[in-house]
Amino acid sequence: MPFNSIISRTDAAALIPEDSAMDIIKSVPETSAVMRLARRLTNMSSAQRRLPIMNALATAYFVSGDTGLKQTSEVSWANKYIDAEELAVIVPIPEAVLDDNSFDIWAEVRPALIEAFGVAVDQAVLYGTNIPASWTTNLGAAGVVAVATAAGNTVSAAAYADLYEAIMGEAAGGADGLLMTLESDGYVATGHVAHVSMRGKLRNTRSTVGEPLFKANMQDTTRFDLDGAPIYFPTNGAINAASSLLVSGQWDQLVYSIRQDITYKILDQAVIQDAAGNTIYNLAQQDMVALRAVMRLGFALPNPINRMQQTAANRAPFAVLTA
């Protein structure tokens, strides 16, 4: 884990004035695709929130004759939890470098931190990368992609005649396509997150007369939808094409809550240490300052019972397309 990263004079050299234009050219920072699609609950008032979910369905019975006995049924609930965990980073910079810049460095750093937070959230939720231990019980130890894989909701594009068949339909032999695996579990896709390479693959999917199947109107701005649900193509590197070209799901089944939104604090008297307790930077002694960004949030995938698929191990509100 890095504890000695710093914005050095070399890093900020592009912002230190020479005879140059007063504009900074940079990529537009992206927020989390997962947080854009998942259902946000009200903010947490404590570190943990309980989510009761139904895990047994009622059964109704016809009564035999005028004096037949009415039977009983049971409905039960189980608890899932959202646990708020902290996501944080510190960005140190020498005061001399800060003073020599004509730009507001902190104003430039903040969007980059927001993007970094988004990447961390997406990778933890989708793939279990650095996932907090408290999330693993109620989200899955290796994230949403692993949950879909365990439920059998994965489709390899190579096993189908074309991409349209792999996503929208079924194989000639009757094997479910991507959206069908989701629907057989009682869920309907409300959105998709794809690796950016999928844009080209979708553009190249054509009919027998060469017309693109995923674009209906050449006059409209190109907008990618699958079966009426939007697709997002994050360009922040969060999506791992080796694990998932496309993640489709009923995203309101993935819930999150924020305990503390991103807050910033300028440190000027702190000591920054590594995991072994070694002092890496002494801000006061080395004439440095640091921007600390912190947020706390939690995710859960309740996956309540439904009548299409009542076995929890075989049910998932997400499906994954692989190469």
Nearest-angstrom CA–CA distance, 193 and 235: 11
Q: Go through the chain and tell me how many residues it has.
A: 323
pLDDT over 50 (residue 21):
no
Query: Residue 17: is its pLDDT beyond 80?
Result: no
Collect all residues with Cβ–Cβ distance below 8 Å to 285 and sequence separation of at least 6: none
d(CA 92, CA 21): 26
**b/e sequence 235-274, b meaning 16+ C-beta within 10 Å:** ebebbeeebbbbbbbbbebbbbbbbeebeeeebeebebee
The residue-averaged pLDDT of 7-24 equals: 50
Query: Across 101-105, 208-212, 233-237, which has the greatest mean pLDDT?
Result: 233-237
pLDDT, tens digit (0-9, with 9 covering 90-100), for 33-74: 999 999 999 999 999 999 988 888 788 989 999 889 999 888
Q: What is the pTM of this model?
A: 0.85
What is the pLDDT confidence band of residue 239, given thresholds at 50, 70 and 90? very high
* Mean predicted lDDT score pLDDT of the chain: 87
DSSP state of 160: S
d(CA 218, CA 173): 34
For 100-158, write each residue's pLDDT tens digit.
Answer: 887 888 888 888 999 999 999 999 999 999 999 999 999 998 999 999 999 999 999 99
Does position 194 have pLDDT exceeding 90, yes or no? yes
Q: Rounded to an integer, what distance in angstroms lies between the CA atom of residue 7 and that of residue 19? A: 22
